[in-house]
């Protein structure tokens, strides 16, 4: 039994699908999610009838409920995805990030540790099921971000696991704090924890406040595509399925107390990334003769930069490669093509998440930067 917090969100739901669609994985999965704006049960519709799938609606700030759920299911592992994750939202309202990412992680660590103390010392021969789980078999995997490391200069090497933490946004600071809590529960209480820090993910089911789905959906609607500042910010891009493969390896084979960085070795300026998406859309969704534009890149519009915008992220994933022989299977182009095609093929999902709260968010964050009418939702 594996308990997954935030399992209805973007990366979490992809990880759940990865596990339940993997013939080599036969154990039960419990998804714990509060179903906030970015958590969506439709992300899990493909496995909703799977006998190994269980769902619990719960806020990780509800400490008592967390303890009860963990006691009831007796997981062999807790994988912690649940988090507020959008930098723009953290700038406008940091309190929710402190509450969820720091206090929520503390609550989950406390609940996990209380459960951990009830487990037998056991042996490595004990089966990985139900009440027979032992202390030696239990794992707590905390999924974090490369943004905790801050920003890199153009010629600096990528972030290694030994890079100092220098978070620059409320979001990054909250995730850095949660990383430190997880480390402390390992060093102080011997809770068998693991930490992963990943680069920018993309793929199916990503809520369209993030750059890649925002670009795709705005372009499909012939709305302005917003680019912060000069668009020369550099990010290391990682297809979500490659991330999921790495996480499973870390859970299964990772050394307790260690941190593993997961990156795609795929650095691109934001503006170049957006242009690539536009080229893919030109091919997969050709514009009609009646359209007001002839190429999707004509929708690009530069807007005021985000406060404290980090200029460059890059991840050194050599430790992960050496430990598990892992490497990304998708290139940026192949991953982007799959992602664009997924959004084209899943318009019902897109329609379901473009609700009033999403429209309000878009209007609040971008409408003042556009000429009148350029980004009105249809």
- Which of 33, 56, 59, 147 is catalytic? The answer is 147
pLDDT band at residue 12 under the 50/70/90 scheme: very high
What is the percent of the chain where pLDDT is above 90?
A: 84
Based on the residue annotation, tell me whether 236 is a catalytic residue of this protein.
no
Residue 132: pLDDT above 90? no
Give the pLDDT confidence of 333-347 residue by residue, as tens digits.
999 999 999 999 999
Q: Output the CA–CA distances (angstroms, integers) from residue 136 to 93, 121, 128, 155, in the order listed.
A: 40, 7, 11, 42
Token digits for 285? 């969704």
Residue 234: pLDDT above 90? yes
- Ordered by start, the domain boundaries in the chain are 2-202+238-265
- The contacts of residue 23 (CB under 8 Å, 6+ apart) are none
More confident residue, 279 or 36: 279
Mean pLDDT across the chain, nearest whole number? 92
Residue 55: pLDDT above 80? yes
- Secondary structure tally for the chain: helices H, strands E: 13, 12
Rg (CA), the chain: 21
Give the pLDDT of residue 116: 98
- Which of 84, 146, 267, 310 is catalytic? The answer is 146
Residue 280: pLDDT above 80? yes
Give the pLDDT of residue 371: 53
Cα–Cα distance for residue pair 127/113, rounded to 1 Å: 21
pLDDT band at residue 285 under the 50/70/90 scheme: very high
Are 12 and 30 in contact by the 8 Å Cβ rule? The answer is: no
Q: Give mean pLDDT, residues 307-316.
A: 94
Q: May I ask the CATH architecture of the domain 2-202+238-265? A: 3-Layer(aba) Sandwich (3.40)
Give the pLDDT of residue 378: 27
Residue 374: pLDDT above 90? no
159 secondary structure, DSSP code: B
What is the percent of the chain where pLDDT is above 70?
A: 93
Query: Phi then psi for 143, rounded to 5 degrees?
Result: -95, 120
Cα–Cα distance for residue pair 171/148, rounded to 1 Å: 9
Are 336 and 216 in contact by the 8 Å Cβ rule? The answer is: no
- Which of 171, 228, 260, 296 is catalytic? The answer is 171
Give the pLDDT confidence of 144-173 residue by residue, as tens digits.
999 999 999 999 999 999 999 999 999 999
Bridge partners, 140 (sequence order): 78, 193
Give the pLDDT confidence of 68-109 residue by residue, as tens digits.
999 999 999 999 999 998 999 999 999 999 999 999 999 999
* Cα dihedral 154, 156, 157, 159 sign: negative
Give the pLDDT of residue 289: 86
pLDDT band at residue 290 under the 50/70/90 scheme: confident
Based on the residue annotation, tell me whether 171 is a catalytic residue of this protein.
yes
Based on the residue annotation, tell me whether 99 is a catalytic residue of this protein.
no
pLDDT band at residue 373 under the 50/70/90 scheme: very low
Give the pLDDT of residue 129: 45
Q: Output the CA–CA distances (angstroms, integers) from residue 360 to 209, 235, 357, 364, 366, in the order listed.
A: 12, 27, 5, 6, 10
């Amino acid at each position: 039994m594996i308990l997954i917090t935030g399992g209805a969100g973007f990366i979490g739901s992809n990880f759940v699908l990865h596990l339940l669609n993997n013939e080599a994985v036969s154990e039960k999965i419990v998804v714990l999610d509060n179903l906030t704006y970015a958590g969506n049960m439709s992300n899990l519709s493909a496995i909703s009838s799977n006998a190994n799938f269980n769902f619990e609606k719960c806020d990780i700030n509800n400490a008592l409920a967390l303890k009860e759920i963990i006691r009831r299911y007796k997981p062999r592992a807790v994988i912690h995805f649940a988090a507020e994750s959008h930098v723009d939202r953290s700038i406008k309202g940091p309190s929710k990030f402190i509450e969820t990412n720091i206090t929520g992680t503390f609550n989950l660590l406390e609940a996990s540790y209380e459960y951990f103390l009830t487990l037998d010392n056991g042996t490595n021969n004990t089966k990985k099921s139900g009440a027979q789980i032992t202390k030696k078999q239990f794992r707590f995997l905390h999924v974090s971000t490369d943004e905790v490391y801050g920003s890199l200069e153009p010629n600096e090497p990528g972030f290694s696991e030994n890079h100092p933490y220098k978070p620059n946004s409320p979001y990054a600071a909250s995730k850095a704090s949660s990383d430190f809590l997880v480390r402390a529960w390992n060093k102080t209480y011997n809770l068998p924890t693991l930490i992963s820090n990943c680069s920018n993910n993309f793929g199916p089911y990503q809520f369209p406040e993030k750059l890649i789905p925002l670009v795709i959906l705005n372009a499909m609607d012939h709305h302005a595509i917003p680019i912060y500042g000069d668009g020369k910010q550099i990010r290391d891009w990682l297809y979500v399925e490659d991330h999921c493969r790495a996480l499973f390896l870390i859970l299964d084979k990772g050394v307790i107390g260690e941190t593993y960085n997961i990156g795609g070795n795929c650095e691109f300026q934001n503006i170049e990334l957006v242009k690539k998406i536009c080229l893919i859309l030109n091919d997969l969704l050709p514009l009609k003769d009646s359209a007001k534009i002839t190429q999707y890149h004509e929708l690009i519009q530069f807007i005021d930069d985000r406060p404290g915008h980090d200029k460059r992220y890059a991840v050194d994933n050599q430790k992960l490669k050496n430990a598990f022989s892992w490497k990304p299977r998708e290139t940026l182009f192949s991953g982007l093509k799959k992602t664009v095609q997924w959004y084209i093929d899943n318009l019902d999902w897109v329609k379901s998440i473009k609700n009033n709260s999403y429209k309000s968010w878009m209007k609040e964050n971008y409408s003042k930067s556009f000429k009148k009418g350029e980004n009105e939702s249809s």
